[in-house]
Amino acid sequence: MCGRFAVTTDPALLARKIKAINEVPATTGAAAGGAAPNYNVAPTASIATVVARHSEPDDEPTRRVRSMRWGLVPPWAKPGPDGAPEARGPMLINARADKVTTSPAFRSSAKSKRCLIPMDGYYEWRVNDAKAGHTSRKTPFFMYRGDGEPLFVAGLWSVWKPAQDAPPLLSCTIITTDAPGELGEIHERMPLVLPERDWDRWLNPDAPVDEELLTRPPDVGGIRVREVSTLVNNVRNNGPQLLEPVEPQPEQMKLL
């Protein structure tokens, strides 16, 4: 799964970099997908995403950077007493690549509402062997591109309204796939990273989902791994210190 990640790129800069239209309001901060860095993005946070949409029915779709809530809300979700979507069942922060076209929660979005979620990198926790009489300790790691460029991972998005005349809530989920090699030794799942050559094919709202992008092994050649502090375990902690490497334990030296 992917339950936490880091983003430090300003949406406006991101839009210029990938030749997209920035639709994230300039007045918003990190909690709303805005300019401030967020080193500990957690579910329900608003994040910057990349979509492709039409301005006119017959024009070419263009890339757009939009703010969305992390944790997809299906269009059929019912509103609660406060007007927010009812929290029933697990939060849809991740979608398995092998189920996005068949799962009732995701198959509608998979048809034409596909997105990219940019991130500096993502965190994952490895379960260590428990000592007698003790609970197994989990060690956090940060996965990132060695060249310093962001990771762009595949996602799905949705539009939800509590009432016909209410403003829409845009929400998204991160698609995950089997993690190979060293990454799989930390956790069996990872976000589905897409190289730039596949972005437009994935985002195209006029074409059905390309299942080859969902089923092929991920290209992880440029991804690096480092152990980080357990400070990241607490969502209240947020700062560049969360990305700093820590000295690995002896049993971890072989992996790293």
Q: How much is the mean pLDDT over the chain?
A: 89
CATH of the domain at 168: 3.90.1680.10
The predicted pLDDT at position 133 comes to 55
Domain membership flag for residue 133 = no
CA angle 238, 68, 41 (to 5 degrees): 15
Write out the residue range of the structural domain in which residue 178 sits: 2-124+149-222
124 is catalytic: yes
Out of 2, 115, 172, 227, pick the active-site residue: 2
Confidence grade of residue 19 (pLDDT, cut at 50, 70, 90): very high
Flag whether pLDDT at 58 surpasses 90: no
The predicted pLDDT at position 164 comes to 82
DSSP 181-238: HHHHHH-SEEE-B--GGGHHHHH-TTS---HHHHHSPP--TTEEEEEB-GGGGSTT--
> 170 burial class (0-12, 13-18, 19+ CB within 10 angstroms)?
buried
Domain membership flag for residue 237 = no
When pLDDT is averaged across residues 42-63 and rounded to a whole number, the result is 93
The predicted pLDDT at position 256 comes to 44
Out of 115, 124, 172, 227, pick the active-site residue: 124
Who wins on pLDDT, 178 or 81? 178
Instruction: List pLDDT tens digits, range 196-243.
Output: 999 999 999 999 999 999 999 888 989 999 999 999 999 999 999 999
Domain membership flag for residue 73 = yes
Q: What percent of the chain has pLDDT over 70?
A: 90
The predicted pLDDT at position 134 comes to 58
Domain membership flag for residue 136 = no
The predicted pLDDT at position 27 comes to 62
Domain membership flag for residue 120 = yes
CA distances from 151 to 58, 111, 121, 220 (A): 31, 23, 6, 10
Residue found by looking up tokens 């189920």 in the block:
99
Domain membership flag for residue 251 = no
Domain membership flag for residue 239 = no
2 is catalytic: yes
Domain membership flag for residue 202 = yes
Instruction: Please count the structural domains in the chain.
Output: 1
